[in-house]
């Protein structure tokens, strides 16, 4: 047991020295409070920064993706998408990645309901994302909010 405590003490000493040199490497351990963005259809949402996302979250109606956003006024929000909207979001991320673009990115987005081309009586949910900016300028803006 004494050997284990010595190893822990040595680790903590080295860790504290490292954190002292680079405080940004230390996570606060605080949970970032976010509200759920209930985006309405046929409304353009402008200047949102997509920070990150997590897919394959099991929900009441299948799998979902949580998109973590920051609004232009600095509000931390989560937009939940599933079904076709989840596919549209994943396609958007794939297009960014194919161009070598990484998150965070500033976007405008729009939710709509579209008529099926095969059967005009049926509709499906659609979400479109338009990239406005990426890279250091977006990270700088995000850090300043």
Q: Which pLDDT tens digits describe the chain residue by residue (145 residues)?
A: 667 777 888 888 887 777 766 655 555 556 678 999 999 999 999 999 999 999 999 988 889 999 999 999 999 999 999 999 999 999 999 999 999 999 999 999 999 999 888 887 889 899 999 999 999 999 999 999 8
Half-sphere CA count of 23, side-chain side, radius 13 A: 1
CATH of the domain at 67: 2.40.50
Residue 21 covered by a domain? no
Residue-range definition of the domain harbouring residue 79: 34-144
Residue 113 burial (CB < 10 Å; 0-12/13-18/19+)? exposed
Selection from 9, 8, 6, 107 nearest residue 50 by Cα: 107
3-state DSSP call for residue 100?
A: coil
pLDDT at position 27:
56
- 18 in any annotated domain: no
Answer whether residue 11 is part of any domain.
no
Domain membership of residue 120 (yes or no) is yes
Q: Is residue 16 part of a domain?
A: no
pLDDT at 13: 83
| Total domains in the fold of the chain | 1
Asked, for residue 105, whether it belongs to a domain, the answer is yes
139 is a domain residue: yes
pTM of the model: 0.77
Q: Is 94 helix (H, G, I), strand (E, B) or coil?
A: helix
Tell me if 93 is assigned to some domain: yes
At 105 the pLDDT is 98
For 27, which DSSP code? -
């Amino acid at each position: 047991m004494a050997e284990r405590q010595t190893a822990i003490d040595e680790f903590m000493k080295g860790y504290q020295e490292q954190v002292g040199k680079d405080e940004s490497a230390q996570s606060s351990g605080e949970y970032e409070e976010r509200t759920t963005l209930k985006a309405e259809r046929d409304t353009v949402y402008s200047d949102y920064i997509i920070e990150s996302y997590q897919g394959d979250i099991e929900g009441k109606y299948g799998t979902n993706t949580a998109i973590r956003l920051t609004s232009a006024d600095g509000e931390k929000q989560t937009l939940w998408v599933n079904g076709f909207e989840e596919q549209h979001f994943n396609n958007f991320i794939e297009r960014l990645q194919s161009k070598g673009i990484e998150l965070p990115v500033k976007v405008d987005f729009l939710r709509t309901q579209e008529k099926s081309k095969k059967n005009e009586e049926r509709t499906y949910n659609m979400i479109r994302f338009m990239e406005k900016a990426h890279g250091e300028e977006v990270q700088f803006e995000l850090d300043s909010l």
